[in-house]
Amino acid sequence: MSIEQGRVAVITGAASGIGRGLAEYAAGLGMRLVLSDVDGQRLQALCAELQALGAEAVACVTDVGDPAQVERLRDVAVERFGGVDLLFNNAGVMQTGHCWEITQEQWQRMLSVNLQGVINGIRSFVPLLLEQGRPAHVVNTASLAGLVSSPLMAPYNVTKQAVVALSETLHYELSLQQAQVSVSVLCPGPVASEIMASDQVAGAAGAQFNELLDTSIRQGMTPLELAELVFTAVREKRFWILPHKFFKPALERRMQSILEETNPLFQFVDEKGTEIEGEHDAA
C-alpha cells in the first residue's frame, strides 16, 4: 500500500499533458481525484477511463481564471471526499510572438490562466488545508521559463516567473507559521503535450517559433515520467522540482549577469548540449 492511497488530490488542467500524467499516476497510487479543466469533453473522458480502472475520480469543469469557479472546485472536493491533501495548480496556456505585437486580449488570457489561476487556487484551497490540521502539499506548475527568459515568449515568461515568486513567498509564509502545509514549484522543460495548440500566435516571427517549440515539446519527457519525479519530490517535501537539468548553465549565466550588473545575453543550452546564442546590447 502506498502512502498516498486514499488521499485526495485536486488537479487543474487535468485533461491533457502534465495534468493528465499527474492524474494517471495518482490514480495508480490509489488516490482519490478531483479533476478540473475547461475542456469538459476531454475531462469527462479521462475521468471515465480512470473510473474504469477502479479509481475514485470526479470531474469538475473549471475556468481557473474565475475565482468563483475555483471556489466551487474546492467545495466539490470537500463535498465528495471530505477534504484535500494534495493540490496541483497546473492549468496553463501558451502565447508566442513579439511582446509589442501581442494583443491586450492575449496578454489578459495568459495572466488569467497562468497566474490568476494559481492565485485563485492558493486563495481558495490554502485556508482549507490549514484548517484541516494535517499534512498537505501544494504544487504550482511554473516552467524553465520561470527561471530563464527566452525571446518571443514574453507572456509565458512573465506569468511563469510570477508563479515562481508566488510559490517562494507562500513557502516562506507557511514556514513562518510552522504549518503542516508544504509547497513545491515545478519548473519543467519540454514535456510531451499539446500546449502549443493553445497558442494564438502573434506575427510571422511567432508562427515560425511556434513550429520549432511545438516540435521540441512533443519530443519531450512523457507526462507519466514527469509525474513520477513530481511525486517523489512531494514525498521528500522539496520546494524546487527541476526535472530537466540542461538549463542550469543558462540560469547560472543569468545569475552572474545580475550580480555583475552586465547586460543579459540570450544563450541557451538544449537537451543535446547545443548552445543557442542570440543578439544582445553592448554592456
Nearest in space to 188 (alpha carbons), one of 247, 118, 252, 111: 247
Query: CA–CA separation, 77 vs 97, rounded Å?
Result: 38
Instruction: Identify the pLDDT of residue 269.
Output: 55
Q: If DSSP codes are grouped into helix, strand and coil, which group holds residue 146?
A: helix
Task: State the pLDDT confidence band at 211, using cuts at 50, 70 and 90.
Answer: confident
Instruction: Say if residue 32's pLDDT is above 90.
Output: yes
pLDDT digits 0-9 by tens, 77-124: 999 999 999 999 999 999 999 999 999 999 999 999 999 999 999 999
Task: Find the catalytic residue in 25, 81, 125, 156.
Answer: 156
DSSP codes joined into one string, 46-86? HHHHHHHTT--EEEEE--TTSHHHHHHHHHHHHHHHS--SE
Instruction: Identify the pLDDT of residue 3.
Output: 81
On whether the CB atoms of residues 177 and 64 are closer than 8 A, the answer is no
Place of cell 515545478: 186
Burial 17-46 (b: 16+ CB within 10 A, else e): bbbbbbbbbbbbbbbbbbbbbbeeeebeeb
Instruction: Identify the pLDDT of residue 212.
Output: 80
Query: CA–CA separation, 200 vs 206, rounded Å?
Result: 9
Q: If DSSP codes are grouped into helix, strand and coil, which group holds residue 270?
A: coil
Our answer to whether residue 156 is catalytic in this structure is: yes
Domains in the chain (CATH in brackets) are: 8-244 (3.40.50.720), 246-283 (no CATH)
Of residues 109 and 205, which shows the higher confidence score?
A: 109
What DSSP character marks residue 191? B
Tell me what the mean pLDDT of segment 31-54 comes to.
98
Instruction: Identify the pLDDT of residue 282.
Output: 32
Tell me what the mean pLDDT of segment 231-243 comes to.
98
Nearest in space to 174 (alpha carbons), one of 141, 148, 147, 140: 140
Instruction: Identify the pLDDT of residue 207.
Output: 77
Among 25-34, 88-97, 191-200, 205-214, the minimum mean pLDDT is found in 205-214
